[in-house]
Structure 1
């Protein structure tokens, strides 16, 4: 099991000093990857429930740095760790611009990028960027098609009812082929992952639910004539650490409790853990201390 860390990006950690310190120290500690997320705004009267906890948007999400800029800084001060997005809201971006931003990070990191994309959950954010909430799944599929064309064709030509790329040279290309991971929990989303992605970005779910969804991904791969053994399951954990053992892991509990769940998830098939400690750490040193505690308790594979 590979162990990654969400790099400072939001809330009290949205600063250059935190980003520099934690990125450098995480690489030195032996973390395998640094990851960013993608949030745009916090509506005062949200139309949609946040998909976690009690449904309220976390207060820390009120300040959120741009994921491409954060990864570019992380690329400049590290040399080994992978750099991933978990997950970009793919439909917010026109495919040529998304491809350019991701390719730039891949180039600046000498080919260390892991691309993670999702549909998002907030219709308020879609409205703010002028993208229709309706038919977003079809837009998502078209975005994936366009990215494939831009990254892996030369010259590039792509057209549908949303975008037209006239026959063009679009350079640079990524270094090799960045792994593509997709988020989602609905049956159609899980089948899409099996059909066209390198793996699944998931969250802390009950183990039975996690494995049942993973089976759907694998069946989708088999139906598409792909090797399910080649796919990876990447789980993001956003725990609130408590001083005493509680009854709500993996969402909250002691480091030992959360680590026990994560090791159980690894035994059930998870290939990588992304630890996001920005909801629970009080400062940079606390975040690094918790990160080291988790790393010492998790079983690398």
Structure 2
């Protein structure tokens, strides 16, 4: 499947809210003109299907999906069912986000053969949605001949997003996906890196690398008080710096800085850890500051060729305030530049 044309601007929402909060934020986001609403699939947060269904009922235009589900904690036939439910509830606005998952060892789940697992999970999902009954025999997953969904679906082929940083995951996305998401990055240099990593898979499948939309998303904190916004973003980035710093081959974050930040995070000293994060490192892994600063960061990604910018939680010093500033002050600056 080819990615839709044009640059999209989306919001990434954490599933830690009360019933009704998701609908309120979704209505505000759609009214402001955002294109996509994503719910994260992070370990020990609410399952994304709950907020996504609430948001589907509160909106009529935005695309909706989880970024991401994984085939280790959820079987592919269950993924197919949740995707079908969201697509039905949203009248055909769902996308499927798949990734290998993070921190699953904490709940005793191993992750063998991740590329095979992701590719085969997608194959099973789309065979089920498409009504195929000829069976499938993979290295990780299988469908016996005759197995089929026992309910109607909205569409057989909602777009597929693969969440990945590495070369093998990107090559898989190049072969089969409409989008690839690099989560935790606001670094324009990663756009060219991911395009190169996509190319091998795309060409092997007879596709153009331009068929796959590159999505970059990261922690976002915007406020008229830019210093307060950046201070909060530093604390957020500190908590995952050890993961993303090693994934970005262009970042060059000093190992000693990563070690010191990680030690403070492990001790529960999150604000102290954040204070160690310098401005240049912060801007690689978060959108933060005044609306003008955040818009400039997003525009740099657009200029580098990204297909979607995703502003991730917490959005601002408060959820509603952040969404309103992103929609009312940041989005108009981006639309003006891309008009």
Say whether the fold is shared (TM-score over 0.5): yes
User: For residues 230-261 of structure 1, what are the alpha-carbon distances to aligned partners after superposition, in whole Å with 9 as ceiling and x for unaligned?
Assistant: 22112213123463467232524333222212
In structure 2, what is the equivalent of residue 188 of structure 1? Answer: 168
In structure 1, what is the equivalent of residue 121 of structure 2? Answer: 143
- Higher mean displacement: 89-98 or 148-157: 148-157
Tell me, yes or no, if structure 1 residue 297 matches structure 2 residue 329.
no
Of 133, 146, 154, which aligns to 2:132? 154
CA drift of 1:163 comes to 4.2
Of 186, 207, 227, which aligns to 1:226? 207
Structure 2 residue ranges without an equivalent (≥5): 1-6, 231-278
Of 131, 143, 148, which aligns to 1:165? 143
Q: TM-score, normalised by structure 2?
A: 0.73
Counterpart CA distance in 2 for 1:168 and 1:276 is 38
CA drift of 1:205 comes to 4.3
Of 279, 283, 292, which aligns to 1:249? 283
Secondary structure class of the residue paired with 2:72: helix
Tell me, yes or no, if structure 1 residue 98 matches structure 2 residue 79.
yes
CA RMSD of aligned residues (A): 2.3
Distance 1:156 1:280, change over 3 A: farther
CA drift of 1:267 comes to 1.3
Counterpart CA distance in 2 for 1:295 and 1:271 is 15
Task: Give aligned pairs, total.
Answer: 273
Tell me, yes or no, if structure 1 residue 23 matches structure 2 residue 26.
yes
In structure 2, what is the equivalent of residue 272 of structure 1? Answer: 308
Q: TM-score, normalised by structure 1?
A: 0.81
Counterpart CA distance in 1 for 2:143 and 2:76 is 10
Tell me, yes or no, if structure 1 residue 236 matches structure 2 residue 217.
yes
Secondary structure class of the residue paired with 2:157: coil
Counterpart CA distance in 2 for 1:39 and 1:121 is 8
Distance 1:168 1:133, change over 3 A: closer
Counterpart CA distance in 2 for 1:279 and 1:125 is 28
CA drift of 1:139 comes to 2.1
2:120–2:141: 8 Å Cα contact kept in structure 1?
no
- Higher mean displacement: 269-278 or 153-162: 153-162
Counterpart CA distance in 2 for 1:220 and 1:87 is 21
Distance 1:280 1:156, change over 3 A: farther
CA drift of 1:36 comes to 0.6
1:192–1:220: 8 Å Cα contact kept in structure 2?
yes
Distance 1:289 1:17, change over 3 A: farther
Structure 1 residue ranges without an equivalent (≥5): 42-63
Distance 1:174 1:205, change over 3 A: same
- Higher mean displacement: 278-287 or 230-239: 278-287
